[in-house]
Amino acid sequence: MCGYNHQMDSSLTPFFRPLGVVVIGASSSPEKLGYGVARNLIASGYRGAIHFVSQKSGELFERPLYTTLSDVPDPVDLAILIVPPNATPSAIEACGLCGIRAATIVTGGFREVGAEGVALEQRCIEAARKYGIRLLGPNCIGTLDTHLPLDTTFLQPPMPAQGGISFISHSGAFAAAIIDWAREQGFGFSQIVSLGNQADVNETDVLPEVAKDEHTRVIVLYLESVSNGKKFVQAASEVTKHKPVIALKVGRFESGQKAAASHTGALAGSEAAFDAAFSKAGVLRADTAEQLFDWARALEDCPLPRGRGIAILTNAGGPGVIAADSLEMNGLFLSQLTESTLRELTTYLPSSASVHNPVDMLASASPEAYATCLKFLLQDEHVNGVLVILPPPPMFKTEDVAEKIIEVSSNSDKPVVIALMGSTLVEEARKTFQRSQIPTYPFPERAASALGALAKRAEFLATEARSTGELKNPSHGNSAVDLLPEELVATYGIQTTSIKLTRNENEAVAIAIELGFPVVMKIASPDIFHKSDIGGVLLNIKTEEEVQNGYALLMERANKSMPNAKIEGVHVQCQIPEGQEVIIGAVRDPSFGPLIMFGSGGIEVEGLKDVAFALAPLNQAEAQEMIRKTWAGRKLKGFRSINPVDEEAVIDALIKLSFLAYEHPEVAEIEINPLRVLQKGAVAVDVRMKIIGE
């Protein structure tokens, strides 16, 4: 087989829709992975050509075992490699010579085992580059598509059930365990991709390809990192416009201490960057593996709610209260039912039932009662979705209730999720719901969490629709290296105080007179970041004499606290009116680019941790969200004796700072602390900056 070629959508197409597959390293020994891959490929029902290459000739599953790749007849555009690590580079070469441009390397023993493996993996990459071959793996369990169908894994059969969830995983073991677990949970998959060491193909490459699949309704990611933050955000942002993406990102606690020149730098970390990146890209972030798939099942099967008000329908008080708690914990609330719904429920239900949300029909509730009340609730304009609680009813079969619920919920454009409590007594009902694609959960807490994910998805799509094309800000060409921090932020239209460097007492007095009293004096030193920590800031200086004394005092303090710091003199600036003080800052994440911070400033910022992060550049909605998330932001509107100040000016400054950071890759960190927010406007009182490499 040589020289076969065909039109393809992208270089990754053969991994997903191959015309023919060859297993290199197929084996007749059932305990070998090369046997498992061959077995699954055939058992999957894959309709393209299937060929096996092995060291020994013979037959396997009634097909010939070829001893050389070149003997394999066309068409083949995907090779699955299960040869020993040191034989892999030459196997890739052989693929190249035969015109195969896609290879999945199942074998482990590369980068993950140390220096020797790293070298071997590099040789694979080089061999692949030479021929323009795309590599999946090494050290992965391959790919799987239940609809095509195609199974290039060695996992124990049967293949997962068909479904609308596609799963992209950095961990093969995790994917394998999930596949087994999903069987018992009763949900299926569309595509599964195990990425392994990502010598070539990574999560960002695969995501848009999987999103193209017509059977994929939800994409689930298990991530240990991302290869390139900016590209990931770009790719994911495109995908989430059309299909929901949920991620479990692990390694939250791996990053240790780091040196930082600013509060923003100290508080920002790779986790804050991931949160900000997922938020920007519209990726829902799950906290646990269970949540990942609880959410995926709801997003696969349910219409999206139009708001956060939810109704609870139950036949028992206790679980109803659990559900009500859980709605609140997931940012949802109990809908206030309309008068007309309350009338309908009151007429229909026995007088001892509770018609107010949560609607408790009592233990005697029949299948018909469930259906009728569910219909009333779904028709209520205040109800955006219903959480139905169904423990085994004492007088009826649970599956009969299920049938009746399905009749109603299938005809609704509002989500209905079921807390199906129990096990053996509800098993039949679980299958009944499954067949009708209504998600069930063993406890109300998990059902409420799934509804929360639906609401988040709906809100993301609504915001996304509104915010398109909002990013516009003039670019500023000056390099930050040539400017003082204050000058740089001023070029972006952020208001600063008049600030002048003075080198002696007399100069300070002259400047103070020029600016007008009262003034503020600050020690000027590139080495002293936290000036107030050493008493390096004097406020409310009202007279010439105070300026003179202040100059001497600042010098004395600086020399005493930091004798080795380079002291340039004293900055003198106008004292600005009282207002609220906040911190805004930017720090460059190595992968995602500038991360913007907003929150409570001052010297306690690192202790209070009342801060929010988002990725630059910010749009209006993102800046507003940062304000909403923090106490510093919420109190801009005023609180008790604290007067309201100009919230719009903060939003404006945040957006401007985000563009500054976005357009100046040479700025490692920049921070305005405080930004004093006045009744009208906001002024950068102190600006610090760190240039990359400085």
Helix (H) or strand (E) holding 419: strand 416-420
Query: Exactly one of 84, 303, 394, 577 binds a copy of itself (CB under 8 A); which one?
Result: 394
Cross-strand bridge partners of residue 691:
667
- Contact flag: residue 461 with a copy of itself (CB under 8 A): no
Lookup result for tokens 């001023």: 490
Backbone angles phi, psi at 339, to 5 degrees: -55, -40
Cβ neighbour number for residue 628 with a 10 Å cutoff: 10
The size of the interface with a copy of itself (CB under 8 A), counted in residues, is 84
For residue 137, CA distances in Å to 14, 98, 425 come to 15, 20, 44
Residues of span 143-182 touching a copy of itself by CB under 8 A? 154, 156, 169-174, 176-177, 180-181
- Give the pair of three-digit tokens for residue 184: 């018992």
| Contact call for residue 109 and a copy of itself (CB under 8 A) | yes
Q: Which of 140, 68, 64 is closest to 97 using CA atoms? A: 68
And the tokens for 404?
A: 């009746």
Q: Are strands 309-314 and 386-390 parallel, antiparallel or unpaired?
A: parallel
Decide whether 6 or 252 has the Cβ nearer to a copy of itself. Answer: 252
| Range 362-391, binding a copy of itself (CB under 8 A) | 362-363, 391
Q: Shortest approach of a copy of itself to residue 427 CB, angstroms?
A: 9
Selected from 42, 231, 634, 691, the binder of a copy of itself by CB under 8 A is: 634
Q: What tokens appear for 215 in the block?
A: 């059977």
Measured from the CB atom, the residue of 319 and 452 that comes closer to a copy of itself is: 319
Task: Show the site string, 215-254: x = touches a copy of itself by CB under 8 A, - = not.
Answer: -------x-x-----------------------x-xxxxx
Instruction: Kindly indicate which of the ranges 67-75, 272-280, 422-430, 540-548 contains the residues binding a copy of itself, using the contact rule CB under 8 A.
Output: 422-430
Q: Which CB sits closer to a copy of itself, 73 or 639? A: 639
Q: Considering beta carbons, is residue 242 or 637 the nearer one to a copy of itself?
A: 637
Options 74-82, 87-95, 444-452, 673-681: segment touching a copy of itself (CB under 8 A): 444-452
- In the three-class reduction of DSSP (H, G, I as helix; E, B as strand; rest coil), residue 335 is classed as coil
* Residue 56 interacting with a copy of itself (CB under 8 A): no
Compare residues 144 and 515 and give the one whose CB is closer to a copy of itself: 144
Nearer to a copy of itself, 411 or 641 (CB): 641
Residue with tokens 């053969």: 14
Task: Compute the distance between CA of residue 569 and CA of residue 583 in angstroms, rounded to an integer.
Answer: 25
Residue 332 interacting with a copy of itself (CB under 8 A): no
Q: What are the angstrom distances between the C-alpha of 152 and each of 35, 105, 228?
A: 11, 11, 27
Q: Which helix (H) or strand (E) holds 467?
A: helix 444-467
Give dist(CA 67, CA 364) in Å, integer.
70
Closest CA to 647 of 665, 662, 668, 632: 632
Using rule CB under 8 A, residue 88 touches a copy of itself? no
> From residue 423 to residue 442, what is the string marking binding to a copy of itself with x (rule CB under 8 A)?
xxxx---------------x
Please list every residue from 541 through 600 that binds a copy of itself, using CB under 8 A: none
Tokens of 289: 């593996």
Which string of x and - marks every residue 271-310 that binds a copy of itself (by CB under 8 A)? Answer: ----------------xxxx--------------------
For residues 368 and 393, give the distance between their C-alpha atoms in angstroms, rounded to a whole number.
Answer: 13
Among 6, 258, 435, 530, binds a copy of itself (CB under 8 A): 530
